Structure formats: C-alpha cells, structure tokens
Amino acid sequence: MSSKSPFQAVTYEYHHNINMKLLALGLNHKTAPVDIRERLAFGPDIIAGALRDLTNCNAVCEGVILSTCNRTELYCAVQDGAEAEVRRWLSGFHGLEHERVDPFLYAHADRDAVTHLLRVSSGLDSLVLGEPQILGQVKTAYQTATDCTATGKLLGRLFQHTFSVAKTVRTETAIGSSPVSVAFAAVNLARQIFSDLSQQTALLIGAGETIELAARHLHHNGIGRIIVANRTVERAHDLAAQFDGFAISLTEIANHLPEADIVIASTASPLPVLGKGTVERALKKRKHRPIFMVDIAVPRDIEPEVGDLSDVYLYTIDDLQTVIDESLRSRQAAAEQAEEIIDFHSGEFMAWLRSLDAAGLIQDYRQRAEELRDEVLSRARRQLDAGKPPAEVLNFLAHTLTNKLLHAPSSRLRQAARDGDAGILEAANELFQLDQTRLNANP
C-alpha cells in the first residue's frame, strides 16, 4: 500500500469559514425496510430539483445525493451543527413526518463520513460484499451533483479521492474476485428453482446495469429465451440483441407475461409496473404453472400483493440476503485488508482538510509580511533618493524589516512566558527549530 499522499497544495477557499464540516446522512438495507427506503428514494427525474433544494438550506454549502436500491444518502459540506436541519430536509422533501423517518437514519461527521463513503464506494457496505456496481452509482451521483453546480472544492476533492481509493481496493485486494451481485444472487436462486434454465423464458423489466448483469448471468447459465421490457424500446432492443432476445415496451408486458417463467424487475419507476390483476390473468393463461419473480427495484416494480398468489414465488431485494450470504465467505479476508486501506486513506483526507486552516494562516502571514516589506522598501528608496549612502540604507532596511517581522511574535512569546504557557513556548521552539539552530552554531 502506497503511503504517498494524493493531496497537493491548494488555494484555501474556506479560510473565513473554519466551521465547515463533512456530513454523511442516510439510511440503507441494514437500517430500514424496503417500504421505508422506497418512500425516501430519489428518482432520476427529481434529483436535480432535490439538489437545488438541499443546497438552498442555510447550513448546506455543497451536496451529493446517492440513491440506489439499497440506500439513500446525502453527502454534504455543512456549517457546524447542521445535522438536524439536513435530517428534517430529507423527510420533509418526501412529505413524511420527521418522527417517522428519523429512527431509520444514521449520520457520520468528518472522518467518519469520509470512511463511510470510502466503504460504500469500495463495496464494503453493500448488500453484496464487494459488489462492483456501487462505484459506478457513486460516480453518477457525483457527476449529477457537479452538473447541477451542487459541489465545490470540499466534495470535489473528497469524491475524486474516493474514486482513487476504491480503485486501490479493487487492485490490491481480492474483494471483487467472486462474481457476486444482486443480479447474480437472483439468477442463482432461479437456478435452484429451475434445475434446467434452457427450458425457461425470462422476462427482464428495465434495461439498466442491474438488468444487464442479470441478462449476462442468465445467458451464461443457458437460459432458453430472454424478453426485455423497457420504457424506451430502443434501449431494450440494444440489450436484448446481445443475448438473442427480443424487446417490448412496458405497455406490452401483460401480453407476454404468460410466456415468462422468470421475471426480474429493476426500473426507476416511482410506481409499480406490474400489478396483481395482470399477474392473475397471466397465471390463468399458463394454467397455473408457477412464475419466479425477483423485484430488485426501490421503489418496488411489482405490487407486494402479487406475493399472495399461490403460484407466484416473489422475492424482493431484501429476501436475497440469505442467498447472498452464502457467497460472501471467501471475501471476508479481503474485506479486512480493504478496511486497512480505507482507514489509512481516511486519515490522509482529514490531514488535507486540516491543512486548509494552516494554508489560510500562511496566506495571511505572507500577505502581512509582504505589506511590511513594501512599506520598509519604500522608505529605503526614499533615503537612497535623498542621497544617503547605500550601505547605510541597506542596514536600515535589514534592521527595520527584521524588527517589524519579529515584533508581534516576540510580544506573544514574552506574554506566554509571563503567563507560564509552556505549550506556546515549546511550539515556537519546534516551529523555528531553535534547538537545531543552536546546535549548528555551537558544534
């Protein structure tokens, strides 16, 4: 593991706002059931407006919203003490009572927020340990926020650092060595129900990354036939063509559902796309041959009441946990190694963040020193113009500038000595390397 810091000298932008804090707030599959998660999800059609609304909060300076099947999280640069306002904003934006949502939320500040984002992006906080899709979702969330001008120096640096660390985790550990994902778990469960997939037809609802992964796993396991349904038929056709399948629109699902033995749904629709009545009619046409359904979407694509039908085996994303757990054991050692990498790089980011305060002080100190230099230099030039000898003017320049630069520090050190403030005296000794200076002067 490299110990080289990725942070270079930066222009200090927060010098006049030293109370700026990092905040990560949200909920996930570990803290909230799917019915709560779907109420707090941000669909792609509302993200831009939500980002504008979030960053219009008085205490929020920058913001990124990450919303996936398993989590809704806000990453913010905020004023000190802003957590309560962000909590209220999240529930209020979705029209929910704060008391209804708050028990399911977690919040992380500063280094804990950095560590959390690094763990999320590296797949260590996922339903499937080490799953790779989450990094792409984090990148998309950041790009969307950037396009909406909701990010600045702080979150920009944090997310770029995050992408670099996630890549390090992937390349230096075996966290992604096993092909485990939600899509893989769904297909693996289908294989357990149907021993021979070559005789089955799969209907895939949606055409995003998860559905594409499901299609690849099904094709690899010899699925007999694939149908892809999507709101945009062209996108469905592009995906179906890769696996010798065919595409339909969402409005055609009812006509083709009787053909489907396996249904896997993952769209961004805010409302279910498959209802109980449609499934009942399809079962009658199938003469009640069972259908295996997996609803990966949040909000759900399949009405929960469909699970009450006797010839339907409906699984939600939460139901896949047992299947997924069986595939995780080989990744535990890699996860421990990944945690060490993340801990190191969290510290690196916080060191950079703390350096912002020093950068501001240095900038102010240099500016003051330059003002004193210009003042003394101007007086020295007037003396030269008046005909004073250059050697005398140089002595004046050196003596006066030295006195002016050392006046304030010297006064503070004398006051520290009178007050018995050994901490300042020791800090000054270390800062100016006075002991080393004496050693060099007296070998």
- Is the confidence at residue 5, as pLDDT, over 50? no
Report which of 186, 188, 183 is spatially closest to residue 213, judged by C-alpha positions: 183
- Is the confidence at residue 292, as pLDDT, over 90? yes
Using a pLDDT cut of 70, give the percent of the chain over it.
88
Q: What is the pLDDT of residues 132-147, one digit of tens each?
A: 889 999 999 999 999 9
CB 34 within 8 A of CB 317: yes
* pLDDT the model gives residue 404: 83
The CB density around residue 240, as the number of other CB atoms within 10 Å, is: 22
Q: Is 68 annotated as a binding residue?
A: yes
- The verdict on whether omega for the bond into residue 299 sits within 30 degrees of 0, i.e. cis, is yes
With cut-offs at 50, 70 and 90, classify the pLDDT of residue 8.
very low
Q: Is 207 annotated as a binding residue?
A: yes
Distance (Å, rounded) from C-alpha 15 to C-alpha 363?
10
If you write DSSP's letter for every residue of 398-431 in order, what string do you get? Answer: HHHHHHHHHHHHHHHHHHHHHHT-HHHHHHHHHH
Q: Is 206 annotated as a binding residue?
A: yes
Last residue of a domain, one of 145, 172, 199: 172
With cut-offs at 50, 70 and 90, classify the pLDDT of residue 10.
very low
CATH code of residue 224:
3.40.50.720
Distance (Å, rounded) from C-alpha 202 to C-alpha 181?
18
* Together in a domain, 268 and 213: yes
Look at residue 438 and tell me if it is in a domain.
no
Distance (Å, rounded) from C-alpha 153 to C-alpha 268?
31
Q: What angle do CA 307, 309, 314 make, to 5 degrees?
A: 30
Q: If you search the block for the tokens 């099904």, which residue do you land on?
A: 218
Distance (Å, rounded) from C-alpha 225 to C-alpha 198?
8
Give the residue-averaged pLDDT of 192-220.
91
* Together in a domain, 44 and 118: yes
* Together in a domain, 270 and 384: no
- Is the confidence at residue 428, as pLDDT, over 80? no
Give the residue-averaged pLDDT of 103-125.
95
* Together in a domain, 193 and 248: yes
Q: Is 258 annotated as a binding residue?
A: no
With cut-offs at 50, 70 and 90, classify the pLDDT of residue 178.
low
Q: Is 70 annotated as a binding residue?
A: yes
Domain that holds residue 242: 182-325
* Together in a domain, 125 and 33: yes
Distance (Å, rounded) from C-alpha 155 to C-alpha 163?
12
* Together in a domain, 84 and 113: yes
Distance (Å, rounded) from C-alpha 358 to C-alpha 246?
61
Report which of 228, 264, 265, 273 is spatially closest to residue 237, judged by C-alpha positions: 228
Distance (Å, rounded) from C-alpha 376 to C-alpha 371?
9
- Is the confidence at residue 275, as pLDDT, over 80? yes
CB-based contacts of 400: which residues, under 8 Å, 6+ apart? 376, 379
CATH code of residue 139:
3.30.460.30
CB 397 within 8 A of CB 374: no
Look at residue 116 and tell me if it is in a domain.
yes
pTM: 0.64
Q: Is 26 annotated as a binding residue?
A: no
One-letter amino acid of 88: R
* Together in a domain, 73 and 151: yes
When divided into structural domains, the chain yields a total of 3
Q: What is the pLDDT of residues 370-415, one digit of tens each?
A: 888 888 889 989 999 999 999 988 998 888 888 888 888 888 878 8
With cut-offs at 50, 70 and 90, classify the pLDDT of residue 356.
confident
* pLDDT the model gives residue 440: 52
Report which of 151, 161, 160, 153 is spatially closest to residue 76, judged by C-alpha positions: 151
Look at residue 219 and tell me if it is in a domain.
yes
Sign of the dihedral through C-alpha 373, 379, 382, 388:
negative
Q: What is the DSSP letter of 302?
A: B
- Is the confidence at residue 433, as pLDDT, over 90? no
Report which of 80, 100, 81 is spatially closest to residue 90, judged by C-alpha positions: 100
With cut-offs at 50, 70 and 90, classify the pLDDT of residue 330.
low
Q: Is 50 annotated as a binding residue?
A: no
* pLDDT the model gives residue 418: 83
Q: What angle do CA 420, 422, 426 make, to 5 degrees?
A: 150
Residues in the chain: 443
If you write DSSP's letter for every residue of 112-173 in order, what string do you get? Answer: HHHHHHHHHHTTTTSSSTT-SHHHHHHHHHHHHHHHTT---HHHHHHHHHHHHHHHHHHHHS
With cut-offs at 50, 70 and 90, classify the pLDDT of residue 180.
low
* Together in a domain, 34 and 148: yes
Q: Is 208 annotated as a binding residue?
A: yes
* pLDDT the model gives residue 116: 96
Q: Is 148 annotated as a binding residue?
A: no
Sign of the dihedral through C-alpha 238, 187, 43, 251:
positive
Q: Is 389 annotated as a binding residue?
A: no
Which residues are the active-site residues?
A: 69
Distance (Å, rounded) from C-alpha 27 to C-alpha 312?
30
* Together in a domain, 165 and 288: no
Q: What is the pLDDT of residues 219-244, one digit of tens each?
A: 989 999 999 999 999 999 999 999 99
One-letter amino acid of 363: Q
Q: Is 324 annotated as a binding residue?
A: no
Last residue of a domain, one of 114, 139, 172: 172
* Together in a domain, 54 and 124: yes
